[in-house]
Structure 1
């Protein structure tokens, strides 16, 4: 059983969980990559840093938006919901559910966290939570849904996280998309 998170992977998951969501309005929006409505999925753009043939099944109306840092954001137009980062060759570093939950506990020490769902399989781990900020007066702010996960596809690892300002339904859809990342069969 995978009980620990490798230091490099832990740092990547922590960045994805805490700082990887970016700042809305801090960067100019990128052109969206349209989604084929027939299969409601998006193929990762082809470049040296991307895995060719990877498919991320998406809900109807969602599209992929590549970011300068190499990540992809997915969601309805002008409303990114899911961030996916590729860690080439790090598939063996897939964390256990317990290790991912512990990492999130450390990453969100200033929040009240309630775990909504922990699901792990041979090639994926998903954690859905609600996070509420601790207030200066000792109270607790409004809880917000979030999702963090990882999916192994052959030798690669895909790190997934929901972005701030999303609904519970969008978090569920993001988790489902992350869990279903797969390789597209080669053309015949």
Structure 2
């Protein structure tokens, strides 16, 4: 499947950050560390913070910390899901309606199909299919994507799929974002 232009998904991540914080400046995500009592069928990664951040990953996926300190996960050699943590920003949780509206605005140069909208006071997930509008009224290749936000306590977790993710990977990334948890540190 053709890839969505990188600049489009980067714009989406920045738009989600701006929507949640009111400004485009990102706060650094905690650096996950391997291990953390993961179950064999759903590997998880933990943060070295006092409270551990658990992102349940599909079987076969691995996680790493990118150069920009974002948490990224996906099949070997292919990051699919990006998660940024904004400490203390939970009060800026967007509604699913605001996230869907922002998505439409940010992708005004694309055909946007809202495939799934899910949310409550602590979760907003929007799965979309994008296709760029090309010269002459031609529509370019379609690509699925996820934008999401999850509030846990005072913190806000921003999720987005990265360019090149296929429909199944976007679905799995949606489940991982939905299931992010914070676990108290052992005493």
Normalising by the smaller structure, the TM-score range is 0.7 to 0.9
Q: 1:185 to 1:34 in 2, by over 3 A?
A: closer
How many correspondences in the alignment? 164
Following TM superposition, by how much is the alpha carbon of 1:58 offset from its aligned partner in structure 2, in angstroms?
0.6
5 Å matches for 1:108-127?
108-127=107-126
Indicate the residue corresponding to 2:140 in structure 1: 141
Relative contact order (C-alpha < 8 Å, sep 6+): which is higher?
A: 2
Indicate the residue corresponding to 1:99 in structure 2: 98
For residue 69 of structure 1, give the secondary structure of its aligned residue in structure 2.
coil
Q: Give the structure-2-normalised TM-score.
A: 0.78
Q: Give the structure-1-normalised TM-score.
A: 0.78
Contact 1:135 1:141 in 2 (8 A): yes
Q: 1:74 to 1:10 in 2, by over 3 A?
A: farther
- Gaps of at least 5 residues in structure 1 are 16-31
Indicate the residue corresponding to 2:67 in structure 1: 68
Following TM superposition, by how much is the alpha carbon of 1:102 offset from its aligned partner in structure 2, in angstroms?
1.2
Residue 86 of structure 2 corresponds to residue 87 of structure 1: yes
- Gaps of at least 5 residues in structure 2 are 1-16, 27-32
Distance in 1 between the 2:19 and 2:169 partners? 30
Contact 2:20 2:92 in 1 (8 A): no
Following TM superposition, by how much is the alpha carbon of 1:33 offset from its aligned partner in structure 2, in angstroms?
5.0
